[in-house]
Amino acid sequence: MRHVISLLIENEAGALSRVSGLFSARAYNIESLTVAPTEDPSMSRMTIVSTGSDDVIEQITKQLNKLVEVIKVVDISEAAHIERELMLVKVRATGKDREEMKRMSDIFRGRIIDVTESTYVIELTGNTTKLDSFIEAIDGSLILETVRTGVCGIGRGDRVLKV
Amino acid sequence: MVLTGAEIVIRCLQEEKVEYVFGYPGGSVLFIYDELFKQDKVRHVLVRHEQGAVHAADGYARSTEKVGVALVTSGPGVTNAVTGIATAYMDSIPMVIITGQVPTAYIGQDAFQEVDTVGITRPCVKHNYLVKDIRELAATIKKAFYLAKSGRPGPVLVDIPKDISAAKCEFSYPKAIAMRSYNPVIKGHQGQIKKAAQLLLEAKRPMIYTGGGVVLSNAADKLAKLVRQLGFPVTNTLMGLGGYPATDRQFVGMLGMHGTYEANMAMQHCDVLLAVGARFDDRVIGNPEHFAEVPRKIIHIDIDPSSISKRVKVDVPIVGDLPEVLEDVSKLLAASGEHPDEKALKAWWKQIDEWRGKDCLKYDRKSRIIKPQFVVEKLYEVTKGEAFVCSDVGQHQMWAAQYYKFDKPRRWMNSGGLGTMGFGLPAAMGVQLAHPGSPVACVTGEGSVQMCIQELSTCKQYRLPVKVILLNNGYLGMVRQWQQLFHGNRYSESYVDALPDFVKLAEAYGHVGMRIDKPGDVEGALKEAFKRKDDLVFMDFAIDPKENVYPMVQGGKGLTEMILSEEL
């Protein structure tokens, strides 16, 4: 099962490597990991997407909690939540492909944020499936490069992850 | 008061009432050594190899309730210390390791004796710090001691660049530490404790299984109280020996790979299991699927939530400090006015006594070659069960665990988790320093002892009268045993050829050496050795080279699928 784990961690040197080291040392899966400071710069918030049985996910959250610098851990995928990921795609956009690419970008509510005579850079936000669908929907041979941020997530409604 | 970083380090150690620092000097810790030289409150013990420093601090910590402290230099000082740090980490031993680092400006430049200490030790410490700002030094050391001994204990490392130990700063030692990210649970959940008490009262075939947590949290008294109150059988893990008196009738021996028949059978066939400060290690329960074949309710008390339901699903998890939780359970049981099912318990004890009847630890007492079990039994008799026993890793470790009856906690020091050969002798040094005048034995093998034999020199320098009990079978015995049983008698590289003359070796280091090769001489030699209160006596016992450790559960097999010696 796929899980989205959110955590607050002290914003200190080496904090990220403690988390990533834990995953590799204990052979846990890690699909994506995003991290940045929160509105309180002494803390960072991390979103980790992992897969595993319920037992493994339980161990992951316990092991994360055990890290001295980790302040709070929640599996936000246990309840209603929102996930977003940002992707930038550079595509070849010449001739008839230029119009087609613009149309596809519009359909997926993307934005073209860089234009040259032969290329576009398309910015796309959404959940993982939406970004995957876009990649599948456009002509693969026109993709020059893609870059994705990995998932960040937040609980819906009153569910708040705060100190 | 403005102090240098090095002065601050020493002041912090004094504030923490550190008696001994085990260490080895080098370039990046020279300022700290200079300050050590100028005072006499914190005593430094100069080892001969950094691994020895960490094991000695570890032995010191295990045999006391204090935090062990080691001090090593950067680069190779650190890498040599890593085995010791990992050993302490696996057994949750409270330690602070102070390491020198190249000057801040040189970090990352591949400087001489530079290594990424924080990176290299990260997976084997409870936490570690690189101090980059002199103003944070005192608070960091305070945190290190606090982290090391609170919650589930463990080693904490503080890496101090050389320029930081030379820099100056106003010194004040924090009185207390509060960390928003670290708050170990002390009090157990009362609802869970109620459930646990109920289960214990309903049990027909109960079992209490306790581990190193009981020793580390000083919960032995509370445990004994509860065990007697309930009248249930109790077993200890290798790390938990001494947590419950071994000579007590309710004690069924150690369990696990080399546990007693009765302990393993009772563990497997119980209907309610109370696990206390233990972690269902693979060497303890064998194959978890086999263990799960018998349905039973499990109550698990531990301070570390991640130890609960890790390898075995638990019905009633209780996170908390063991003395607190055990006391709560005791009180609740007493207040309930209810008692365990006496009839069922009687039948269960009858079954256990039948298993006991197998006498699984019997061995050939009439042997004309010295049996290792006999040496340990005699060691127990001669020291009246009062010795601090350190062991290395291998067959001798299991024999010591099986045949020395530990009635008190903190008397048995061994590397249970990591299984570090070379642990015994340096650990014994730390124990002897912590308990001057008490008998300290290091039960070892000719393989293990040679892994840290250089520490005999340290023992000489500090006049540490450790008694080395070398069970010499000329083989890497545990390896040989596995090769005999599971690898068709092909003794690949397990024969230690060209052993030194240990008597001469001991003498060369300025100690007393003895070679004992007849069973009739064992007791006399031990008596003489322990009479020599001021001497380190190195006793080389020529034991039966083909003796195996039984009972034995093969790796991956079920707990009750034991090989008993008689079956061979």
The reply to whether B182 touches chain A by the CB within 8 Å rule is yes
The reply to whether B147 touches chain A by the CB within 8 Å rule is yes
Rounded (10°) angle between helices B50-63 and B76-90:
30
Q: If you search the block for the tokens 């009185």, which residue do you land on?
A: B175
Could you tell me if residue B253 is left (phi over 0), alpha (psi between -120 and 50 degrees) or otherwise beta? left
Residue B186 above 80 pLDDT?
A: yes
CB-count exposure of residue A65 (10 Å: 0-12, 13-18, 19+): middle
Could you tell me if residue A133 is left (phi over 0), alpha (psi between -120 and 50 degrees) or otherwise beta? alpha
Question: What are the structure tokens assigned to B568, written together?
Answer: 């061979």
- Rounded to two decimals, the pTM is 0.96
CA distances from A75 to A25, A48, A61, A130 (A): 21, 9, 8, 22
* HEC sequence for chain A: CEEEEEEEEECCCCHHHHHHHHHHHCCCCCCEEEEEECCCCCEEEEEEEEECCHHHHHHHHHHHHHCCCEEEEEEHHHCCEEEEEEEEEEEECCCHHHHHHHHHHHHCCCEEEEECCCEEEEEEEECHHHHHHHHHHCCHHHEEEEEECCCEEEECCCCCCCC
Residue B553 above 80 pLDDT?
A: yes
- What mean pLDDT is predicted for residues B427-442? 98
Which of B181, B310, B313 has its CB closest to that of A59?
B310
- pLDDT at residue number B170: 97
Q: Do B305 and A62 touch (CB under 8 A)?
A: yes
**Average pLDDT value for chain B:** 97
User: Distance between CA atoms of B397 and B413, rounded to whole angstroms?
Assistant: 10
CB atoms within 10 A of CB B397: 29
- pLDDT at residue number B497: 85
User: Distance between CA atoms of B313 and A53, rounded to whole angstroms?
Assistant: 14
Question: What are the structure tokens assigned to B278, written together?
Answer: 């233990």
Among the listed residues B279, B331, B328, the one whose alpha carbon sits nearest the alpha carbon of residue B300: B279
- Report the CATH superfamily, name and number, of domain A2-79: ACT domain (3.30.70.260)
Q: Where are the domains of chain B?
A: 2-170, 190-356, 372-549
Question: What residue spans of B187-305 are helical by DSSP H?
Answer: 190-202, 212-216, 220-230, 261-269, 282-285, 288-292
User: Distance between CA atoms of B227 and B236, rounded to whole angstroms?
Assistant: 12
Predicted confidence band of residue B565 (pLDDT cuts 50, 70, 90): confident
Residue B127 distance to chain A (closest CA, Å): 7
Domain with residues B2-170, CATH architecture: 3-Layer(aba) Sandwich (3.40)
User: What residues are paired with B161 via a beta bridge?
Assistant: B101
Residue B178 above 90 pLDDT?
A: yes
Residue A99 above 70 pLDDT?
A: yes
**Matching CATH topology for B190-356 and B372-549?**
yes
User: Distance between CA atoms of B175 and B357, rounded to whole angstroms?
Assistant: 56
Question: What are the structure tokens assigned to A37, written together?
Answer: 């400071």
Active-site annotation of B, residues: 50, 112-113, 162, 478
User: Distance between CA atoms of B392 and B59, rounded to whole angstroms?
Assistant: 12
- What mean pLDDT is predicted for residues A139-152? 97
Residue B251 above 70 pLDDT?
A: yes
Positive or negative torsion for Cα B227, B230, B235, B238: negative
- pLDDT at residue number B567: 53
- pLDDT at residue number B555: 87
Percent of chain B past pLDDT 90, that is, above it, reads 98
Fold of B190-356: Rossmann fold (3.40.50)
Which of B147, B181, B309 has its CB closest to that of A70?
B181
pLDDT digits (tens, 9 = 90+) for A63-96: 999 999 999 999 999 999 999 999 999 999 999 9
CA distances from B121 to A24, B86, B296, B370 (A): 15, 8, 39, 42
Residue A156 distance to chain B (closest CA, Å): 25
Q: What is the DSSP letter of B546?
A: T
From chain A, pick out residues whose CB is under 8 angstroms from the CB of B139: none
Q: If you search the block for the tokens 């290792």, which residue do you land on?
A: B372
CATH 3.30.70.1150 location in chain A? 82-152
CA distances from A131 to A100, B17, B344 (A): 18, 59, 63
User: Distance between CA atoms of B27 and B45, rounded to whole angstroms?
Assistant: 18
Which of B122, B132, B313 has its CB closest to that of A17?
B122
ipTM: 0.93
User: Distance between CA atoms of B64 and B27, rounded to whole angstroms?
Assistant: 32
Cis-peptide, bond into residue B551, ω within 30° of zero: yes
- What mean pLDDT is predicted for residues B437-444? 98
Instruction: Say if strands B412-413 and B388-391 run parallel, antiparallel, or are unpaired.
Output: parallel
Top residue of A19, A23, A66, A72 to mutate, by most chain B CBs within 10 Å, is A66
User: Distance between CA atoms of B246 and B233, rounded to whole angstroms?
Assistant: 12
In our burial notation (b when 16+ CB lie closer than 10 A, e otherwise), range A100-139 reads: ebbebbeebebeeeeeeeebbbbebebebebbeebeeebe
Predicted confidence band of residue B36 (pLDDT cuts 50, 70, 90): very high
Positive or negative torsion for Cα B342, B347, B348, B349: positive
Residue B568 above 70 pLDDT?
A: no
Residue B313 distance to chain A (closest CA, Å): 9
Q: If you search the block for the tokens 């939406």, which residue do you land on?
A: A130
Dihedral over alpha carbons B146, B150, B154, B155 (to 10 degrees):
10
**DSSP per residue over B318-345, as a string?**
EES-HHHHHHHHHHHHHHH-----HHHH
Domain at A82-152: CATH code: 3.30.70.1150
User: Distance between CA atoms of B146 and B530, rounded to whole angstroms?
Assistant: 38
Could you tell me if residue B3 is left (phi over 0), alpha (psi between -120 and 50 degrees) or otherwise beta? beta
User: Distance between CA atoms of B203 and B206, rounded to whole angstroms?
Assistant: 5
Q: If you search the block for the tokens 């109790």, which residue do you land on?
A: B234
Among the listed residues B352, B518, B435, B323, the one whose alpha carbon sits nearest the alpha carbon of residue B19: B435
pLDDT digits (tens, 9 = 90+) for A100-119: 999 999 999 999 999 999 99
Predicted confidence band of residue B566 (pLDDT cuts 50, 70, 90): low
Instruction: Say if strands B206-210 and B272-276 run parallel, antiparallel, or are unpaired.
Output: parallel
User: What residues are paired with B48 via a beta bridge?
Assistant: none
From chain B, pick out residues whose CB is under 8 angstroms from the CB of A59: 306, 310
Query: Which amino acid, B460?
Result: K
Among the listed residues B515, B495, B516, B496, the one whose alpha carbon sits nearest the alpha carbon of residue B505: B515
pLDDT digits (tens, 9 = 90+) for B460-484: 999 999 999 999 999 999 999 999 9
Residue B147 distance to chain A (closest CA, Å): 9
From chain B, pick out residues whose CB is under 8 angstroms from the CB of A65: 305-306
User: Distance between CA atoms of B412 and B393, rounded to whole angstroms?
Assistant: 13
User: Distance between CA atoms of B330 and B335, rounded to whole angstroms?
Assistant: 9
Q: Which of residues 487-546 of B touch A (CB under 8 A)?
A: none
Backbone angles phi, psi at B93, to 5 degrees: -100, 130
Do B301 and B320 form a contact (C-beta atoms < 8 A)?
A: yes
Q: What is the DSSP letter of B399?
A: H
Domain at B372-549: CATH code: 3.40.50.970
CATH 3.30.70.260 location in chain A? 2-79
Please state the separation of Cα B500 from the chain's center in Å: 28
The reply to whether B441 touches chain A by the CB within 8 Å rule is no
- What mean pLDDT is predicted for residues A134-153? 97
pLDDT digits (tens, 9 = 90+) for B339-385: 999 999 999 999 999 999 999 999 999 999 999 999 999 999 999 99
From chain B, pick out residues whose CB is under 8 angstroms from the CB of A55: 309, 313
Query: Which amino acid, B559?
Result: L
